C-alpha cells in the first residue's frame, strides 16, 4: 500500500516555494540596495529611505518564514496578503522617496506569488494591479527614468500574476483529481475486501446452515409452520449474504428478490429465484418486475403450485423474466373477459413499456410465463 498524498501536502509545498522565492527576492533587493548606497557615480539623494526599505523587507521576510513554519493558516488570510502587497508597493516606490534608481529587484513579485497562493487568481490580480499602480506612480516628473525598462517592470507584474494563477490552478486541479482517484481506489479495495470476506462466510454457511434449512423444507414430517420458518430464515440469510452494500440505489436484483420474498411469505408456495446481471431500476424495469410479480402470484394462489421458479436476467439492452410452475395450469384462450389480471397486469403492462409477454399453459401440467423488454425504449 502506497502512502497517500493529501491536498494539505500540496499546499505546504506551494507555500514553501513562495517562501523560498521571498527569501531569494529579499536577498536580491539587499544586494541592489547595497550597490545603490555604495555608488559614487549616481549618489542617492536620501539614503535613509533605502535603509528603511531594506530593513522593512528584511523584517517582513523573517516574519513570513516564521509564519510558514509555525502558522501556515496565517499566510492564507487577506490581512497577510494586504500587508504583503503594501510592503511590495513600498519597495517599488521607495526609490522615488530615496531619489535613486529602482533597487527593489524581483522582491515585489513575492507579493504576487503569495497572493496567488493564498487567494488564487483574485489575489494575484489584486497584487499585480497594486504593484503596477506603484510602478506607474514613479513615472511622472522623472524624465531620467528609463521608460522601456519601467514598462517591462509593469508587464512583468501582470504576466507573473497570470502565469502563477494558471500554474497553481492546474496543480490544484490535478491534485484534486489524484485525491479523488485515490479515494475511489481505497473504496474499491475496501469493497473488494468486504466482498471476499462475505464470500468466505457464504461458502461456509452454504455448506452448513443453508443446507440444513433446505433439508428441513424437504422433510415431509415437518409441519407447514416449521417449513415456512425454515424457508423464511433461508431467504433472510441469503439476502444478507448476497445483497449489495447498504446505501446504494435499489437495483434489478434486489427488486426481483424482494418481489419473490413477498409472495413467498404471503402464499403457501416456495419461490425459488435466480437473478443474472444487475442494473439500476427505472420505470421499464419496474414494469417487468411488477408483471413478474403478478405471474408469480397467479401461480402461487390460483394454480395451487407448491413451488414456483423465477429466472430473471438483465443486460445492456434487454431484461427478461421467466416464471414457471407445475400447478394446475389453465387454458389461456378460455379466460373470461372479466378476468383482467393477465391481460392488464401482465400483457398490457409489458406492452405499455415496449415489451411483450408470452404465456404457455396446459391444464394439469403447469404454466410458463416469459416477459421480455428491450431496455432504453419507451412505450
Task: Give 256-307 as a DSSP string.
Answer: HHHHHHHHHHHSSSEEEEEEE---B--HHHHHHHHHHHHHHHHHHHTS--SE
Instruction: Give how far Cα 199 sits from Cα of 185, 235, 250, 313, 325, Å.
Output: 21, 17, 21, 22, 31
DSSP 325-349: E-S----GGG--TT--IIIIIIIIH
The CA-based diameter of the chain, rounded to the nearest angstrom, is 120
Q: How many CA atoms lie within 13 A of 293 on its CB side?
A: 18
- C-alpha cell of residue 89: 508597493
Task: List the chain pLDDT tens, one digit each, 379 residues.
Answer: 334 444 577 888 889 999 999 999 999 999 999 998 888 777 788 899 999 999 999 999 999 999 999 988 888 899 999 999 999 999 998 888 888 888 888 899 999 999 999 998 999 999 999 999 888 887 765 555 555 666 677 788 888 888 988 888 888 888 888 888 888 888 888 878 877 776 677 666 655 665 666 666 666 565 666 666 666 666 666 666 655 554 444 689 988 988 888 887 777 778 889 999 989 988 889 999 999 998 888 887 776 777 889 999 999 889 999 999 888 888 777 666 555 667 778 888 899 989 999 999 888 888 999 999 998 644 3
| Crossing angle for the helix pair 7-38 and 147-205, to the nearest 10 degrees | 160
Distance CA 58, CA 81 (A): 17
d(CA 359, CA 329): 11
Domain ranges of the chain: 7-183, 251-379
CATH 3.30.565.10 fits 251-379, yes or no: yes
pLDDT single digits (tens) 93-128: 888 888 888 888 889 999 999 999 999 899 999 999
Amino acid at each position: 500500500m502506497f502512502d497517500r498524498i493529501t491536498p494539505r501536502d500540496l499546499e505546504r509545498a506551494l507555500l514553501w516555494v513562495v517562501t523560498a522565492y521571498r527569501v531569494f527576492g529579499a536577498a536580491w533587493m539587499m544586494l541592489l540596495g547595497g550597490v545603490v548606497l555604495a555608488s559614487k557615480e549616481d549618489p542617492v539623494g536620501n539614503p535613509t529611505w533605502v535603509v528603511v526599505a531594506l530593513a522593512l523587507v528584511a523584517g517582513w521576510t523573517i516574519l513570513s518564514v516564521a509564519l510558514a513554519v509555525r502558522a501556515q493558516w496565517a499566510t492564507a488570510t487577506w490581512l497577510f496578503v494586504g500587508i504583503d502587497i503594501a510592503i511590495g508597493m513600498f519597495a517599488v516606490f521607495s526609490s522615488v522617496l530615496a531619489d535613486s534608481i529602482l533597487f527593489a529587484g524581483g522582491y515585489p513579485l513575492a507579493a504576487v506569488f503569495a497572493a496567488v497562493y493564498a487567494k488564487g487568481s483574485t489575489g494575484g490580480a489584486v497584487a499585480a494591479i497594486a504593484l503596477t499602480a506603484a510602478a506607474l506612480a514613479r513615472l511622472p516628473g522623472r524624465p531620467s527614468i528609463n521608460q522601456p525598462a519601467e514598462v517591462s517592470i509593469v508587464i512583468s507584474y501582470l504576466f507573473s500574476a497570470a502565469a502563477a494563477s494558471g500554474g497553481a490552478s492546474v496543480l490544484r486541479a490535478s491534485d484534486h483529481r489524484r485525491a479523488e482517484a485515490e479515494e475511489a481506489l481505497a473504496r474499491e479495495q475496501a469493497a473488494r475486501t468486504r466482498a471476499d470476506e462475505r464470500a468466505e462466510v457464504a461458502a461456509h454457511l452454504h455448506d452448513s446452515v443453508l443446507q440444513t434449512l433446505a433439508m428441513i423444507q424437504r422433510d415431509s414430517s415437518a409441519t407447514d409452520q416449521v417449513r415456512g420458518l425454515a424457508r423464511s430464515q433461508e431467504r433472510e440469510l441469503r439476502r444478507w449474504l448476497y445483497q449489495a452494500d447498504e446505501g446504494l440505489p435499489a437495483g434489478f436484483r434486489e427488486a426481483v428478490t424482494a418481489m419473490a420474498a413477498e409472495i413467498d411469505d404471503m402464499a403457501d408456495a416456495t419461490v425459488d429465484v435466480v437473478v443474472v446481471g444487475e442494473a439500476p431500476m427505472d420505470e421499464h424495469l419496474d414494469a417487468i418486475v411488477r408483471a413478474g410479480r403478478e405471474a408469480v402470484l397467479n401461480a402461487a394462489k390460483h394454480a395451487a403450485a407448491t413451488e414456483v421458479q423465477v429466472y430473471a436476467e438483465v443486460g445492456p439492452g434487454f431484461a427478461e423474466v421467466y416464471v414457471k410452475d407445475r400447478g394446475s395450469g389453465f387454458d389461456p384462450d378460455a379466460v373470461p373477459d372479466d378476468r383482467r389480471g393477465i391481460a392488464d397486469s401482465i400483457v398490457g403492462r409489458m406492452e405499455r413499456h415496449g415489451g411483450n409477454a408470452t404465456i404457455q399453459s396446459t391444464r394439469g401440467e403447469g404454466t410458463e410465463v416469459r416477459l421480455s423488454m428491450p431496455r432504453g425504449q419507451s412505450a
